[in-house]
Amino acid sequence: MKWIAPSLAYLAVGLGLFVFHSAWGALLGFHAAIIGSLLIVRPNIPVAILFKSKNFKWILLSVSLCGSSGIALFLLWDVFDVASDLPAQLALLGLNSRTWIPFIAYFALINPFVEEYFWRGYLGSASKRLHISDFLYAGFHALILIRKVPSSSILFAVVALVGAGWLWRQIARKEDGGLLAPALGHMAADFTILMTIRAMTL
């Protein structure tokens, strides 16, 4: 079940985006797949690990480094050759002036904790090398980027996300498994990226 769970998460995202054409459907389906898998396997990992940190410096490093993601996206928007019809694509997925703010709030406040427990907790590893979970974490983002940026930009994003997954695992290793610093860094990345996308598609 351990390595089937990511397939279910990928499937949920794919169905939400390409069958139901719903950003909310993709996100909530993704979370349902993850949480459902975790409820079945019941890993021996306390939820309290999400709020554990031994040293504030790891929180500061994670938040400051990952929080710059949105700034980088803003500065490189034209370089990534983002689709000119992105606002229309997002509207077709149900993201409009009424739904954007609650979507960003849920995505930034809830998603990082769900993902960190799953990718870095349940599927994580204490290895200093790249691990399969780093690639699995990064890979599903390619589904989100299809038709929104060219394949070269998708490849760049996936490589960057593999690096982010690896970094968050290393921070968790330094924190003796604590996931607060990775979760807060993930939160900073999600928030700044979504706010940039929102600002650039107004």
The pLDDT of residue 50 is: 98
Is the per-residue pLDDT at 1 higher than 90? no
Cβ–Cβ < 8 Å for 200, 75: no
Give the span between the Cα atoms of 119 and 90, in whole angstroms.
26
Q: What is the CA radius of gyration of the chain?
A: 16
**In the predicted model, what is the mean pLDDT of the chain?**
97
Query: Which pair of structure tokens corresponds to residue 11?
Result: 């499937």
pLDDT tens digits along 122-170: 999 999 999 999 999 999 999 999 999 999 999 999 999 999 999 999 9
Contact at 8 Å (CB) between 201 and 87?
A: yes
Q: Helix 100-109 crosses helix 23-41 at what angle (to 10 degrees)?
A: 20
pLDDT per position as a tens digit, 45-71: 999 999 999 999 999 999 999 999 999
* pTM of structure: 0.96
Cα–Cα distance between 175 and 52 in angstroms, integer?
Answer: 8
pLDDT at 94 over 90: yes
Distance (Å, rounded) from C-alpha 192 to C-alpha 132? Answer: 27
Alpha-helical runs (H) found in 15-99: 23-41, 56-66, 69-75, 86-92
- C-alpha triplet 7, 8, 12: angle, nearest 5°: 120
First vs last Cα of the chain: how many Å apart? 42
| Residue given tokens 């054409």 in the structure block | 21
**Phi, psi for 17 (deg, rounded to 5):** -80, -45
Mean pLDDT of 31-37: 98
